[in-house]
Structure 1
């Protein structure tokens, strides 16, 4: 069981782990042992996730999410299979926890008259400075 919050957890039966050979350091061990972990979680078909959370996660433009709504996390940071497995699970929990926070809706605002005046007067001053640089009568 992967616990995201006290009220939200994902059963191990929904997680698919595949162990593959990792690249990088490890000496001869890297050629023999499958230490890298590829963790797959079907966001679109998971009964554990609330509908609102599922929609937020699928709406994120993340390259790790396939067209079918499956999140694929690859972990090969460590030299042992168990550490990579823990790392992949932690990253999955962090991804789902990030989707729990609902973004506050943006409230449209208008600039005040004073701020418009300040902006325009600043532009005018800059234009005057630049104009004075180029227009020189040297007769």
Structure 2
């Protein structure tokens, strides 16, 4: 009886460890979304523009015309000067730096990214902008773009 118990316990331990080794990890670049936190929590996923992912080269891509790619995305509407949040999901990575900027008529405006709550404030001028999020991580670099309107 005692020997049978030890064998069963040993098999249980063995199969438990086997299950741990079978985990499937996601080393792809993250999905980046912009969130409007003002009540509605509307969320829009940004398009992957340029990716240089060192873990797996299959994710690498290069976009020649960021403006055209951004303009093809759904427009996101915000108030001038509004606080906006970023969500990064999927993938296994450690961010080394995140930079957010907006472009209007070839004029770049760098926005101050708040790492503690993953947010930033939009410019106070109305108009249509292209948003660019640059992610520098231990697994590589990725750039995301979107189309925003301040009204």
Identify the structure with the greater strand proportion.
2
Identify the structure with the greater helix proportion.
1
* Same fold (TM > 0.5): no
TM-score by length of 1: 0.28
